[in-house]
Amino acid sequence: MAEIHSITVYLGATIPKNPIYVDAVRKLGRLMAAHGLTLVFGGSKEGTMEILADEILHNGGKAIGIFTDSLPAEFLYPGLTETVVVHDLADRKNLMRERGDAIIALPGSFGTWDELFDALERSKIAMINGGSPKPIGVLNLDGYFDGLLEFIQHSVDEGFTAKDYASLLKSGRTVEELFEQLGILG
């Protein structure tokens, strides 16, 4: 497995109701900064995206925002280590995936789910072509992704998804457990 220097994180532009999600975002940011891992994210100063970037930058880490000009400029997080503005969400998604050595999805909504499944499909294609897929995982806080993980297993059981492809998605209930599953830090 390739060494991991940057992590693409898919997460929301809202503040969730349950504070455990915000606490985990802060912990992820501190852990990434402490280990010199660069954040690659959507570049927004909204919701949990802002919290993660704040945590990383305030703890001496680096944050790269991949922002699209199809969103209002006032959503852009100022003062990132690097900001890349692309034309549309498809370009944003592609560049975010390319810039990270590993991918983590936190609890989120449509955009997070879209990015996660796109990354999984691209990793599947890499496997088909004999390449090495990037480590991909979900932070399954409070069972948030249980339904998704059950659905993927159901797809395997029904013969729609090969077991090898389903195994591309790792899961951890804590930041540390997820890092262990993905081979980050060790």
Spatial CB neighbours of 184, under 8 Å, sequence gap ≥ 6: 4, 7, 37, 102, 135
Mean pLDDT for the stretch of residues 38-50: 97
Mean pLDDT for the stretch of residues 126-135: 93
Q: What is the pLDDT of residue 130?
A: 93
The confidence band for 16, taking pLDDT boundaries of 50, 70 and 90, is: very high
pTM of the predicted structure, to 2 decimals = 0.95
Phi, psi of 7 (to 5 degrees): -125, 125
The confidence band for 1, taking pLDDT boundaries of 50, 70 and 90, is: low
Alpha helices in 6-109 (DSSP H): 19-34, 47-58, 89-99
β partners of residue 102? 7
Q: What is the pLDDT of residue 29?
A: 98
Across the chain, the runs of DSSP E, i.e. the strands, are 6-10, 38-41, 63-68, 82-86, 102-105, 136-139, 169-172
The confidence band for 185, taking pLDDT boundaries of 50, 70 and 90, is: confident
Q: What is the mean pLDDT of the chain?
A: 96
What is the chain's alpha carbon radius of gyration, rounded to the nearest angstrom?
Answer: 16
Q: Which domains does the chain have, with CATH numbers?
A: 6-181 (3.40.50.450)
β partners of residue 63? 39
Instruction: Give pLDDT tens digits for 60-115.
Output: 999 999 999 999 999 999 999 999 999 999 999 999 999 999 999 999 999 999 99
